[in-house]
Every structure is written in C-alpha cells, then in structure tokens.
Amino acid sequence: MKHFARRLATVTAAGGLLYAAGSWLAARSLARRLISPEGFAPSPGRHEDLLVALESAATVVANLRHRGSPRLPVELSAIFASPGEPEGRPTILFLHGKGGDASEWEPDALRALQLGYNVLLPDLRGHGRSGGSFFTFGFLEKDDLALTIAAARDGFGIDAERIGIHSCSAGSSVALAFAAEHAGVRGIWLESPFGQPREMARHYLSRTMRLPGPLLALTSRLAITRAGRAGARRARLGGRVRRPRGGRPGARRRARHRSHPARSRRRRPPRARPVHARARPGPSAAQRRLERLRRRTLPSRG
C-alpha cells in the first residue's frame, strides 16, 4: 500500500511539473496573440465601400491622418462625416474590437447621420489603415482617441465636449479607458464588453488552440502577465527593447543612466570618508632601556 501511494505521489508530482512547464511554454507564444491586432475572423477591409456610402448620406466626408500617442507614435487613420455644419452637432465615436476596423460600422454610421449626428470612425492602432503592430486594450489607444478628436476639432470645428461612444468587444475597454479621463464624453453604448480579462483571455485562447477552457487556466494567467509586461515595455521604450552592452554586473544600471541624462546628473556624489590623524607610536621597551643607560653613563653638568 505504501509503495502504491509513493508511486501515485511521484506520478502526480511529475504530471504537475509537466503541466506547469507546458503552460509556461504555451504562454510565451500565446502572449503575443493577446496583444496582436488579429481576431477570430479576417478584418472587413471595406473602407472604399464605407466612403462611398458616407458620401451618399453626408455633405462632409474626410479621411483624417494624424500621429498617435507620444508614448509610441504611429500614423493613425480615421474617417469623419457630418450632415452639415459639424460645429453645432454632437459627435458619435465608433470603436471596433480586436481584429476589426472602421468599415464594420457602416450601417450604424449611416443611421447616426440620418439622425443628425457627426460620426467619427477611427481604425485603432494596428488595425485597418492605421500603423502599429500590437493592441494595448486602452493603454495607448486612449491617447490616440484624444488626438483623433483634436484633429476633427481643428479641421471641422466639432465640439469636443459633446461626444458619444458606441463600441463593441475589446473596443469597449478602450471606450472606458478614454471616457474615464475625458469629461466631454456624455454617453457610452457598450456592445459585448467583458469585465474579467482573465476569463476573456481564456475564452480567446481556448478558441485559438481548440482546447477546453479549464485546461488553460494557468496558461491564460501567465499569458496575460507576459502580454501586459511586453506591451508596457514596448510603449515605454518606443517599440524597441534596449539591452545594455556587456554582461558585467552593473551594466544594466549604467545603461539606464545613459538613457536618462537627467537621472545621471541627479546622482549623489560619493560620500567623503573621514580622515583621522594617526597617533605616533611610542618608544619600545628596548628603546626605553637604552635611554635609561645613556642617562646613567653621561656625566652630570654643573
């Protein structure tokens, strides 16, 4: 009985180690899928059809091109349309999900134009006609949207304090991140949002790998952690991973100070060590005896 229990414990421990190792290896590759702009289905890519439909229903149609977030600037694309006199109308911002683009909002944009709204349809970074290679679920996109609205305000005089948002899926995360920092957002309509990123990632990875969701619990947790760190690192370093030259201890710290001159100037000077005066050593015992003998043998004066 003890032999059977020992073998069962060994097999269980080996299985747990294999599961953890497999989850870690799978998370390394799947983390890139989570922040990639790819979705379950190909992007619609019907921008020309969207422009034709908007031109038939609006008097003002324009394709906006501008730079994105200064944290990681890329060239972004958006389509603006208005029934006329855009400065006096509220604007609805349509945000697609992961793997989509602006052209999927054609029916909704036409309906909004008929009701008298301006419409603004951006391609989020990494999607459609916009540049970029990864998607951050709002970390960079909220800055991109602020610049998109600023471009429409500068070009057509829209009121940036009268903005509504209609979003779907992962675009809802972008909508919430943007609305939390901009008081000009007066209304939000979220389609298919998610409140648990880990559950969403597990569902996405389950459909991607065609495996049951419970088997991917650890994998999805590790993949989300790696994806978040990778996205933040790319945004912080401008899309490039800077590695210090050499492998000596302290090379990473010196490279960080070289990349931040202000920080290197703020370094404290080395602390001065107190210098203590050395006491002169006294005469040894032999020297003292020699001095006593010299005094005895010398004749006394006077």
35 pLDDT exceeds 60?
yes
pLDDT of residue 184: 95
User: What is 47-193's CATH number?
Assistant: 3.40.50.1820
Tokens standing for 227?
A: 């994806």
pLDDT tens profile 162-183: 999 999 999 999 999 999 999 9
pLDDT of residue 230: 62
pLDDT of residue 243: 45
34 pLDDT exceeds 70?
yes
Question: Mean pLDDT across the stretch 107-136?
Answer: 95
pLDDT of residue 88: 94
Q: Which of 132, 135, 128, 153 has the alpha carbon at shortest distance from 31?
A: 135
Mean pLDDT of the chain: 79
Given the DSSP bridges, would you call strands 185-191 and 60-67 parallel, antiparallel or unpaired? unpaired
Whose tokens are 């389509």? That residue is 79
- If pLDDT is split at 50, 70 and 90, which confidence band does 228 have? low
pLDDT tens profile 123-151: 999 999 999 988 988 989 999 999 999 99
The residue type found at 66 is H
Pick 265 or 49 by higher pLDDT. 49
pLDDT tens profile 184-208: 999 999 998 987 777 777 777 777 7
Q: Could you tell me the sign of the dihedral formed by the alpha carbons of 143, 145, 149, 152, in that order?
A: positive
pLDDT of residue 231: 60
Q: What is the 3-state secondary structure (H, E, C) of the chain?
A: CHHHHHHHHHHHHHHHHHHHHHHHHHHHHHHHHHHCCCCCCCCCCCHHHHHHHHHHHCCEEEEEEEECCCCCCCEEEEEEEECCCHHHCCEEEEECCCCCCHHHHHHHHHHHHHCCCEEEEEECCCCCCCCCCCCCCCCCHHHHHHHHHHHHHHHHCCCCCCEEEEEECCHHHHHHHHHCCCCCEEEEEEECCCCCHHHHHHHHHHHHHCCCHHHHHHHHHHHHHHHHHHHHHHHHCCCCCCCCCCCCCCHHHHHHHHHCHHHHHCCCCCCCCCCCCCCCCCCCHHHHHHHHHHHHHCCCCC
Tokens standing for 56?
A: 């038939």
Can you give the pTM of this predicted structure? 0.68
37 pLDDT exceeds 80?
yes
Backbone angles phi, psi at 185, to 5 degrees: -80, 115
Question: Mean pLDDT across the stretch 2-25?
Answer: 69
pLDDT of residue 241: 43
- If pLDDT is split at 50, 70 and 90, which confidence band does 302 have? very low
Asked if 68 and 147 count as a contact pair (C-beta separation under 8 A), the reply is yes
Q: Which of 229, 117, 95 has the alpha carbon at shortest distance from 169?
A: 95
106 pLDDT exceeds 70?
yes
121 pLDDT exceeds 90?
yes
